[in-house]
Amino acid sequence: MLPRRRRGWCELLRTLNLAHKSASVTGEAGLRAASPTRTRKRAFKIRGDMALAVLVLLPSIIAVALFIYSFIGWTFYISTVKWNSQIIDYTFVGLRNWERLFTDSRFHIDLRNLVYYAVGFMSQCIIFGFLLASLIDQKIKGETIFRTVFILPFAVSGIVTGVAWRWLMQPTTGINLLFANLGFENFQPTWNSHPDFGMWAVSIAAAWQFTGYVMALYLAGLRGIPHELLEAAAIDGAGSYAKYRYVIIPLLMPVTFTALVLTGMNSIRVFDLVSAMSGSGPAFATDTLAFFMFQSTFGAYRYSLGAAIGAFMILLSFFLIVPYLMSMQRETER
């Protein structure tokens, strides 16, 4: 038999222990009972946020669907009907307009010009944009002034750029005056309308306008590289060339891919610059798909043929947009 005082303490501890267990069971039961309520509240809150987001984005979604995707579908539809005059004719002809387009000699010249222009324009923008960004990234004095000067042409419209460069490339003015002052008076080519290198000359004017924007992309990418990586490369004995070759350039590949997509899209849809500089040129030397579409649609009233050209340009752009969206999706998943 335990002493009375000790027996009393044991009964008290037993009572407290039973009360604690009872409270725990009651609390767990209460939590289990309250858990579905909180779950329903959380689900309701999520559904409310989704509904609010859809409500806010709905006008933009409707506008994009109506003024972009519906018109794209309408363009593809018009390319399959017989509307090649001022009289509207929705007679379905299938791919006859596409067959006529692919057998047109002007279309073949435009494809060749597209390749020339794209190679010249994209290479100039990426190479010079990267070089300018690398120079500005050296923390030079007057960095803000240089950035402004280099990116200012991007703010100028394509028509203004075309008119200015058309004057610069005239046989007796602009660039040719420099050669004349150097003693080459007989060297007076028509740069922007030459049958052989007219498209290359147009790409120079376009690169002058767009290189500043590519420079800004590369500069942002350079400023985003962690200094620890560059310091580690320097400690390992990497010089300037090795640092750019094995560290900086690989890290800037997403920026380069973005620049390729943007310059490639500009190459496909270029119109205003070409129309201001030389038009289609002699023997379509500087003709483009967009200029061909404009003249076919609004000059010759061949609406179905113009729609086929526009639809072809959209299909070309898919080869740039789809890989870009896929890469962005992979980056998001990472």
* The domain boundary residue, chosen from 16, 33, 64: 64
How far is 255 from 218, CA to CA, in rounded Å?
6
Q: Which of 108, 79, 94 is nearest to 303 (CA)?
A: 79
The confidence band for 2, taking pLDDT boundaries of 50, 70 and 90, is very low
Pair 206, 290: CB distance under 8 Å: no
Same domain flag for 170 and 56: no
The confidence band for 139, taking pLDDT boundaries of 50, 70 and 90, is confident
**SS (HEC) of 171-229:** CCCCHHHHHHHCCCCCCCCCHHHCCCCHHHHHHHHHHHHHHHHHHHHHHHHHHCCCHHH
Q: Is the pLDDT of residue 45 over 70?
A: no
Which CATH number do you get for residue 228? 1.10.3720.10
Lowest-confidence pick of 33-42, 62-71, 116-125, 269-278: 33-42
Same domain flag for 47 and 119: no
Would you state the pLDDT for residue 216?
94
Report yes or no on 69 lying in a domain.
Answer: no
How far is 59 from 223, CA to CA, in rounded Å?
37
Same domain flag for 187 and 319: yes
Report yes or no on 75 lying in a domain.
Answer: no
Q: Which residues pair with 81 in a beta bridge?
A: 92
* 53 vs 37, more confident: 53
Sign of the Cα pseudo-torsion (166, 169, 172, 178, in order): positive
Around Cβ 229, how many Cβ atoms within 10 Å?
13
Report yes or no on 209 lying in a domain.
Answer: yes
Pair 289, 315: CB distance under 8 Å: no
Domain count, the chain: 2
Same domain flag for 295 and 224: yes
- Residue 91 tokens read as 């007679």
Q: Is the pLDDT of residue 42 over 70?
A: no
Q: Is the pLDDT of residue 206 over 50?
A: yes
Pair 259, 216: CB distance under 8 Å: no
Digit-coded pLDDT (tens) for 222-247 = 999 888 888 888 888 878 888 888 88
Report yes or no on 112 lying in a domain.
Answer: yes
Report yes or no on 295 lying in a domain.
Answer: yes
Lowest-confidence pick of 33-37, 56-60, 76-80: 33-37
How far is 209 from 129, CA to CA, in rounded Å?
11
Same domain flag for 17 and 164: no
Same domain flag for 203 and 308: yes
The confidence band for 187, taking pLDDT boundaries of 50, 70 and 90, is confident
Report yes or no on 98 lying in a domain.
Answer: no
Q: How buried is residue 45: exposed, middle or buried, by Cβ count under 10 Å (0-12/13-18/19+)?
A: exposed
How far is 233 from 252, CA to CA, in rounded Å?
16
How far is 117 from 79, CA to CA, in rounded Å?
26
23 φψ region: left (φ > 0), alpha (ψ -120 to 50), beta (else): alpha
Quickly list DSSP for 65-105. IIIIIHHHHHHHHHTTB---SSS----B-TTHHHHHHHT-H
Pair 131, 218: CB distance under 8 Å: no
Angle between helices 198-223 and 143-151 (to 10 degrees): 140
Q: Which of 47, 94, 84 is nearest to 299 (CA)?
A: 84
Q: CA-based diameter of the chain, in Å?
A: 130
Exposure class string for 94-104: b at 16+ Cβ within 10 A, else e: eebbbebbeee
Rounded mean pLDDT, 156-179 = 86
Q: Is the pLDDT of residue 7 over 80?
A: no
Rounded mean pLDDT, 200-216 = 93
* 172 vs 199, more confident: 199
The confidence band for 9, taking pLDDT boundaries of 50, 70 and 90, is very low
Would you state the pLDDT for residue 72?
92
How far is 223 from 139, CA to CA, in rounded Å?
11
Q: Is the pLDDT of residue 297 over 70?
A: yes
Would you state the pLDDT for residue 217?
94
Query: Average model confidence (pLDDT) for the chain?
Result: 83
Same domain flag for 125 and 271: yes
Same domain flag for 54 and 113: no
Q: Is the pLDDT of residue 44 over 60?
A: no
Instruction: Give the domain range for residue 266.
Output: 103-333
Output phi, psi for 92, to 5 deg: -75, 125
Same domain flag for 9 and 138: no
Digit-coded pLDDT (tens) for 255-266 = 999 999 999 999
Q: Which residues pair with 30 in a beta bridge?
A: none
Same domain flag for 293 and 173: yes
Report yes or no on 72 lying in a domain.
Answer: no
Same domain flag for 110 and 55: no
Rounded mean pLDDT, 46-64 = 81
Report yes or no on 111 lying in a domain.
Answer: yes
Would you state the pLDDT for residue 195?
81
Same domain flag for 138 and 279: yes
